[in-house]
């Protein structure tokens, strides 16, 4: 008996929200960095230069449109994870997955397959962060494996 898929669409608003936050932080930091650059001692000038450079980089990054994800949506179906681009781009069966982990360093969900391959997904699917997305995918995988062991 096949259940309807649990679909997670990519939510680009989360990325735009981070970009806006980064841009606002840059606007707050830039005047402070310039003030340190103009009025500070040696340490103040060094911090002013660093703050100015970081502010400019953050503003450029905030202004740039985020890159579209490789997959538009993820379907968590009864026995597989379906990654959709313009069509079903990839099917990963749950029994082929060794583990699902949240890679906090790189901010991706890493799906490690039994053959050693590693599939990485950015956060944002279903509006979920790295930890929550990894937990959701791993929960579906575990339910499938438990259902087949019973």
Q: How far, rounded to the nearest angstrom, does the alpha carbon of residue 106 sit from its chain's CA centroid?
A: 8
Specify the pTM: 0.66
pLDDT at res. 148: 64
The DSSP output letter for 10 is B
Q: Could you report the per-residue pLDDT of 53-78, keeping only the tens digit for each? A: 988 888 887 777 667 778 889 999 98
CA distance 116 to 107: 20
Transcribe 18-74 into DSSP letters: HHHHHHHHHHHHHHHHHHHHHH--HHHHHHHHHHHHHHHHHHHHHHSPPPPPS-SEE
CA quadruple 143, 112, 104, 57: dihedral sign? negative
Q: Could you report the per-residue pLDDT of 95-147, keeping only the tens digit for each? A: 999 999 998 888 889 999 999 999 999 888 988 888 999 999 999 999 988 87
> Where do the structural domains in the chain lie, given as residue ranges?
12-63, 68-149
- Please tell me the class of the 68-149 domain: mainly beta
98 SS3 class:
strand
């Amino acid at each position: 008996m096949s259940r309807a898929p649990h679909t997670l669409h990519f939510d680009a608003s989360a990325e735009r929200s981070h970009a806006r936050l980064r841009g606002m932080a840059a606007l707050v930091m830039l005047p402070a960095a310039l003030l340190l650059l103009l009025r500070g001692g040696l340490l103040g000038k060094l911090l002013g230069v660093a703050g100015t450079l970081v502010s400019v980089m953050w503003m450029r990054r905030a202004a740039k449109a985020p890159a579209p994800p490789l997959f538009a949506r993820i379907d968590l179906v009864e026995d597989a994870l379906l990654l959709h681009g313009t069509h079903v781009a990839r099917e990963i069966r749950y029994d082929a997955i060794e583990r699902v982990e949240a890679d906090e360093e790189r901010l991706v969900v890493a799906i490690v397959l039994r053959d050693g391959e590693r599939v990485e997904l950015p956060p944002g699917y279903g509006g979920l962060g790295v930890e929550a997305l990894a937990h959701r995918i791993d929960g579906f995988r575990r339910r499938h494996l438990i259902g087949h062991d019973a």
